[in-house]
Structure 1
């Protein structure tokens, strides 16, 4: 026993855990139980256990999940099987190793967190404040694990918080799936209570640990998902049942769920207002900025400071700086939660996947034509509205770099990319965009203009498609100093796992879905009372901040007063503002039940089969169907299938319909 105990404590001290073969493993639980008195006897062991529980955040990160490049905004060949629907209970790309599967990892995280919460009070070397904080961290991790499971599989088993009785047989430990609303209520309560115990701010060295704002932010995200059409009275999911035949998704629409989501987002906004911790990040225009580089004059906004206008805002740099490493996470008022070390690595991988081959990148991450067309003109009009007025050009090219008529474009670039809103230039790597790579030691790699014409180094060569299949890539996470060539370096980025901009969008969306005149009195996370109703002023408070930072006009009164019109514009706003973040688009289309339409549209982009022959280059920009990718979405794909081997492990686990 002493030898076993020594091994356990040594393992804890080195922050590593041996893996087990079942996500609810009886032997593993017994192994933990006999060691608990010692494992929680010293600070170093307690900190080791908690650090081990944090390990699940690497797996849980939306920036590394396969969903990130498998929707209608971004595409990567590595995700082709997901896009084409080539997955099943027996074949899931990321779950080849059952001990590393998504389901196993998340339940392992839940188990570790629950054991920690139960036993941390045993440690005599910790103060009460330290124990309270650590419990809050573990409960946050547990809630995040459940959220990660729920958004993929829907209803999942709910593990008792007090741990499992090691005397039970494996069959007794095999728990059935729980009703989705019960899971939501559990996570809601966990995060509300956790928020009260967590500090409002962390030191720089503890930036990756959750705060009060992180708990409230995750809570708002979960409640928004629960209020959305996928789980709010969705009769299409009538056959999602447990092993006893009980329905697990409510078949009755409940508007109050939207009110709860709005109240949760308001908790974050009120915390931001009271503490001064959170706000959208804005940078004032530099003295060298030319008038042509400012948003077109608008009588309502050009001469007013943020948040009433954009007079003191550089929209392009304000948006891009929070993603490309220009501002440290510890200095960014918009950051609510980040995964720090793992997040930095995954963000730089995104940049690598998009970086051109010439600059030693993977060169295969593509932005779809649908996403490109979603961006408005610099005056806020859609490209369709601008084209009807003769203000959107599809033909012709720039002849001079960064001229007054094309202030954000180099020479030889299609005019279809001219005069777009600032978030376009912060995010999109169009054909002919400039990659500064200022840290490169070789001059030929600095200020490199990248073209994806066929036959060029960064374009399609022969039948080899080592290039963005749409002829457009993502630059949102690229810093102008980044260079992968010899002598260069990469600027460290902070992953925006939860940010304030998302909270504003949640608040506006949830309020919009409430019936006019209906008032809901709900409890805040502190137990106070808050009245929630569809209030145009409150919706404008949230959306206007997003729009002013972006340098585009706010919505009209007519839009705010029209629920359907506002919903359409809100969906577009999320598509643009949250591009490439946390697999948002993938799960937005599913929670809105829009995936059957949006995900079945053909993948389109530029024609990468066109060379740089001057007589033909205009054909490169004609919207072209990517015939090598066959997008498929079926009704059953709203919920993922449980892997077959998990169904064998847990005899009470039922498969999602259609799989």
Structure 2
């Protein structure tokens, strides 16, 4: 029976056509299985075994990318970012998932379903590999263990992608399924969220141990292969999600309505604080590897792009990295993590990445849609006023007028006035240029590395004509370079805020050529996320817990402020922002609120916000708030009105129960009679 099962899987593999080479990068493909191979022939051969495993990692591409443009992963767009193209309201020929359709829940049970098919195909093939790699006669014992660990990582990571998107999903038997068995025996019901998270945790722990001898620093070699750190980091993320309100003590309607085929709840109503302790310990496991650190680059004292030094704060400003920012450039240190300055092999912060091997809707396509029209970019990916307001002032205070329009303001008003030529000549308000609103002055460094505000500066150094480089870009309606509102097309920023994050100083889209965009490694999991996860999990604790480490020791886990600072301070220092106050650290509710804001800022555009809002159960409020932005209908002569936030008529918002999880496709529900649909979605066409 085993040979029969494997033969079926082999046929599935052969049917996909292309198999990847493992010689350097699992995500490149140029080799083929050309004949029918027996179990023994495949797994005795190192080459064939590598090809099999490479095929598993092919399933990480496409809609399974963590960070990509909306054609693959609209989940990268929540209440922070939006996209304006693909909208039939402006182009009737479009029949695609627009941002408004996405935000209004107008997608269907058939939209973006590549995740389900790819993940389960990869899971089946990874299981076959795990079961048979022991046969290999061309690898050492250590290599066999390492390859088994990589396959185990792949299987667990694919489950993680499913859990995050669809909620609780069926866990297939580790021994695999006999696909010649009866239909009834192949129908596997959904497991609970806790069962799924615990399975991912256990498998990632085992994968880390299997990879320990050869895979400790593999993520730093540019191969896009999994490492010990990648396994432990994914484990931490799964446990953090399982500890969060959506899956831990959920007494909302979604918790009661999401059930398996026997009516059993899949999201537990009982709250268990210890889940937070387990998540914190898992994040600490990654931290104590000593492999990862936040990237930084040194202070630059001369030139047009000299470091904008944050003001003194009597703490971080007088100390060198890692205790302070005195010798670093915070804006460049943050920007270069994403913009392609660093290859994956040179980025000490990347824990897991698919490298630069992304499909047509990868990060390069995302950047093409961020670039202004004057650089022949599509000029359609933008930011919301809520996100722009979230960034701190350079002294760590809130920006005046923050969230005033959505009723959360502190009574202050937005700043008026603009940078004058005299201000600019005197070096005041760096890095702002003449004509820029003072609302964007004296903001924290991450703001300038991320936000394309009205009048921001774009270098565009890959433009062939020098006159097209080094542009100050305005988004007024009467902008003569076509960057402002245009009723005849969709290529304008709905809020008047664009996206600078991921954009390299050389990037341009001249001639519609992606070759003019610097390749960028996908930040699927990075160290800053782990640090903030550690602080978040610790903050939720009221008691003390003894939790085993991955290597067999024991951590004492509690709400220890010194430990929480280990997660928070490195992120703030690298960002050039002062530390939180003592009162914030001492107040669980205030720190929870502040950490959510920190993730909003630090992880913007990395596919985290959509899922964070759901696991925190904040989505019904945050996703439904009206989107505000600049009044993009105003011309330059009405610049005061342009900078007065208004509700954006072109961007719609809502939240319904059906939007907690992605729908399961009708075809899968027909195929598996024991599979239940997510609440709010239908079973049949």
> Which TM-score applies when normalising by structure 1?
0.90
Which structure 2 residues correspond to residues 491-570 of structure 1 after superposition, within 5 A?
Answer: 491-515=518-542, 518-570=543-595
Contact 1:279 1:334 in 2 (8 A): yes
How far 1:33 moved relative to its partner? 11
Quote the Cα distance in structure 2 between the aligned partners of 1:497 and 1:425: 23
Deviation at 1:247, TM superposition (A): 1.8
Q: CA separation of 1:646/1:33 partners in 2, compared to 1, >3 Å: closer, same or farther? A: farther
How many pairs are equivalent?
626
**Residue number in structure 1 paired with 2:663:** 641
Contact 1:63–1:343 (CA<8 Å) still a contact in 2? no
Alpha-carbon contact 1:14-1:48 (below 8 Å) kept: no
Shift of 1:401: 4.0
Paired residue for 2:273?
A: 255
Measure the CA separation in 2 of the matches of 1:133 and 1:235.
42
Say if 2:376 and 2:509, in contact at 8 Å, map to a contact too: yes
Alpha-carbon distance in structure 2 between the residues aligned to 1:342 and 1:299 = 44
- Tell me whether 1:162 sits opposite 2:171 in the alignment: no
Which of 33, 36, 45 is matched with 2:39 structurally?
36
- Cross-structure match for 1:87: 107
Matches within 5 A, 1:124-163: 124-163=137-176
What's the CA shift for 1:370?
A: 0.6
Distance 2:240 2:226 in 1: 20
Q: 1:34, CA displacement in angstroms?
A: 8.0
Residue 105 of structure 1: SS of its match in structure 2?
helix
Mapped pair 1:75 → 2:78:
no
Residues 1:519 and 1:13: Cα distance change in structure 2 (over 3 Å): same
Q: Distance in 1 between matches of 2:160 and 2:337?
A: 25
2:339 pairs with 324, 333, 338, which one? Answer: 324
| Distance (Å, rounded) in 2 between the aligned partners of 1:103 and 1:407 | 48
- Cα distance in 2 for residues equivalent to 1:240 and 1:204: 40
Residue 63, structure 1, aligned to residue 67, structure 2: yes
Residue-by-residue CA offset, 1:469-524 (whole Å, 9 max, x unaligned): 11111111001111222598222212111111111100000000000xx2111111
User: Could you say which residue in structure 2 is the equivalent of 1:171?
Assistant: 184
How far, CA to CA, are the matches of 2:660 and 2:153 in structure 1?
Answer: 26
Q: C-alpha separation between the residues in 1 aligned to 2:562 and 2:66?
A: 33
* C-alpha deviation, 1:15, in angstroms: 4.0
Segments of structure 2 that go 5 or more residues without pairing to the other structure are 21-34, 85-97, 403-408
Kept in 1: contact 2:280–2:537 (CA 8 A):
yes
Distance 2:641 2:414 in 1: 18
Of 191, 201, 212, the match for 1:188: 201
> What whole-Å deviation, never above 9, does each CA across 1:381-422 have from its counterpart, x for those lacking one?
011489979896234344354743211112111111111000
2:260 alignment counterpart: 242
Unaligned stretches of 5+ residues in structure 1: 18-31, 96-100
1:344 deviation in Å?
A: 8.8
Give the superposition deviation at 1:300. 2.0
Q: Distance in 2 between matches of 1:388 and 1:584?
A: 28
Kindly state the Cα deviation for residue 642 of structure 1 after the two structures are TM-superposed.
Answer: 1.1
| 1:407 partnered with 2:430 | yes
Matches within 5 A, 1:612-627: 612=636, 614=637, 616-627=638-649
Structure 1 residues 10, 86: closer, same or farther in 2, change over 3 A? closer
2:620 matches 1:596 = yes
Aligned to 1:22: none
From 422, 433, 440, give the equivalent of 1:417.
Answer: 440
- Deviation track 1:116-164 (CA, whole Å, cap 9, x = no partner) reads 1111112222221221111111111111111111112111100011111
CA distance in 1, matches of 2:658, 2:410: 39
Check conservation: 2:494, 2:651, Cα contact below 8 A: no
Q: Distance in 2 between matches of 1:10 and 1:344?
A: 20
In structure 2, the partner of 1:210 is: 226
Give the SS at the match of 1:302: helix
In the alignment, which residue of structure 2 is the partner of 1:26?
none
Instruction: Name the CA distance, whole Å, in 1 between partners of 2:210 and 2:424.
Output: 55
Match of 1:605 in 2: 629
The 1:351–1:431 alpha-carbon spacing in structure 2 relative to 1, beyond 3 Å, is: same
Change (3 A) 1:490 1:465: closer
Distance 2:19 2:126 in 1: 15
